[in-house]
Amino acid sequence: MNTYQAKIGYARTSTTDQNLDAQIAALKAAGCGMVRTEQKSGASLEGRPELKTVLDFIHPGETLVVTRIDRLARSLSDLQTIVTQLKSKGAHLAATEQPVDTSNATGKAFFDMLGVFAEFETNLRRERQAEGIAAAKQRGVYRGRLPKIDMATIQAKLSEGMSPTEIARDMGISRGTVYKAKALM
């Protein structure tokens, strides 16, 4: 890992059921003076305020440190976006469990390879999930999620003479949903 001054740690898990302690300990052992944490999906850069804060406020010469690059993102394009932001600020990325260090050519090359594999793994997971859903549908056991809105209730309110706007406001739904229920009558 490079020898630049400040190291800022970033630890992430996808759900609150998962534990961040091992990542935090590894980042502190790597010399991170500050560790930002969040429990959000890595599928997108959106909705991750701690990562955004790090990227907004990192200074030249500082290094963002993670345990593995999949803690940052699940797609190659998101990983490249992060590295581009870091590079534009004169900062670097390093990983404690992988030979990733964007302050040198070897680390950058390894980073690019790992990013490709992380995206590949995500795509395989999606394919397996789609195959599982298709198989469940064939067996007749997959029905999708249960509807959140009771169309019969909407239709009953329409029969009582309530306007679509009143029904939508009363039930906390869109008027479009009311009109869909009306079309099924």
User: CB–CB of 46/71 below 8 Å?
Assistant: no
Q: In angstroms, rounded to a whole number, what is the distance separating the alpha carbons of residues 83 and 142?
A: 41
Q: In angstroms, rounded to a whole number, what is the distance separating the alpha carbons of residues 70 and 83?
A: 13
Q: Which residue has the tokens 């009582």?
A: 160
Helix (H, G, I), strand (E, B) or coil at 67: coil
Name the burial class of residue 38, with classes exposed (0-12), middle (13-18) and buried (19+) by CB atoms within 10 angstroms of its CB.
middle
What is the Cα Rg of the chain in Å? 24
Within the chain, what is the greatest distance between any pair of CA atoms? 73
Give catalytic residue positions.
14
